[in-house]
Amino acid sequence: MKKFFTNQTNRSHPTIEDHFFLIGILSAVAAGAASFLFQFFPSALRLPPCLFHIITGYYCPGCGGTRALLAFLHGRFLQAAWYHPFVPYAAIVYVYFMTTQFIERAGRGKYPIGMRYHDRIVHIAVALIIGNFILKIYCVIFTGRYYKSLTVPCRLPRTFRCSHIP
């Protein structure tokens, strides 16, 4: 069982992929537990308000992540990408990483297709978070509106849509 969680053939130390694979399995278990709790005890998963938004009145770089996750879980992928593009990106990377690592580990190294860690994966994630943050700040400062919906137009170019500040 230990060899399944650590993809060691001739290595003496686990790799970063071994650690990420274990974290991925633990994350799946935690997500399942949270889903169970939310299904039977919806009030158990209340999130505190965003401190950055309370203090500054602006979105924080992570704002929209919860809405994006809920939209993604309900199959509304475009809406999830609009709320926060990091969420679908992270889901795609997670599924690809876990699938390829599982195949490599289940085959005991016969199929070396497991995704490897590269800095560009993190760079893309950071770029998505910063770009989303800049777009939200632009929307609030220059139009006076938050963007939350794809259907209510504001004074941004046609590719963007905003809704009134709540």
pLDDT at 70: 81
pLDDT at 154: 39
pLDDT at 163: 45
Please give the structure tokens belonging to residue 69. Answer: 């996750």
pLDDT at 156: 40
pLDDT at 150: 43
Q: For residues 68 and 66, give the distance between their C-alpha atoms in angstroms, rounded to a whole number.
A: 5
Task: Encode the chain (166 residues) as per-residue pLDDT tens digits.
Answer: 455 555 555 566 888 888 888 998 999 998 888 778 777 877 766 777 778 878 887 778 888 888 888 888 888 888 888 889 999 999 999 999 999 998 888 888 787 888 888 899 999 999 999 998 888 888 777 776 665 544 433 344 444 444 443 3
Residue 135's CB: how many other CB atoms inside 10 A? Answer: 15
| HSE, side-chain direction, 13 A CA sphere, residue 163 | 7
Query: Contact, 62 vs 128, CB < 8 A?
Result: no
